[in-house]
Amino acid sequence: MPRPYETLPPLINRVMEKVVAVGNKDYQAFGLNVRGARVMLALADGEALRVFEIIARCGIEPSTFSHLLTRLAKLGYVTRQRPEEDNRAVLVRLTARGRQVARQCRVLVDRHHHLIADRLSAGEVESLRKLMLKLYKGLGQPE
């Protein structure tokens, strides 16, 4: 049996804290943190997304997301609009400036990926990616 601090939750947390620390430092140049960068990357394909779609892609709590979205709008990175067919929904899209920043976020997330991937074989990276997706989907929404 592993020591308590070597069980999965503390290990995952410790690895992510290292990656998040590097990410937050890198994204700071754009007025972002790791959460903000995740939103930018979720929108990077150019399509407008509904708020719930972004939340699902990013795994961010709705209350946190609301504040984050306001910040991204103030930075000039996103626009929000209500679709004509559903006045309750909000569509979010990157601005031209937001698309430029999202491209930079993509470069940085690739760098952050290599912080982990360069220490593993290609097979281990793919296995880890699949396992992380399985865990994320299996854990569902936080209560």
- 3 state SS for the chain: CCCHHHCHHHHHHHHHHHHHHHHHHHHHHHCCCHHHHHHHHHHCCCCCEEHHHHHHHHCCCHHHHHHHHHHHHHCCCEEEECCCCCCCCCEEEECHHHHHHHHHHHHHHHHHHHHHHCCCCHHHHHHHHHHHHHHHHHHCCCC
Q: Is the pLDDT of residue 78 over 70?
A: yes
Q: Is the pLDDT of residue 141 over 80?
A: no
Per the model's pLDDT, the better-predicted residue between 33 and 136 turns out to be: 33
- Confidence category of residue 121, pLDDT binned at 50, 70, 90: very high
Q: Indicate the pTM of the whole model.
A: 0.86
pLDDT of residue 88: 83
CATH class of 4-139: mainly alpha
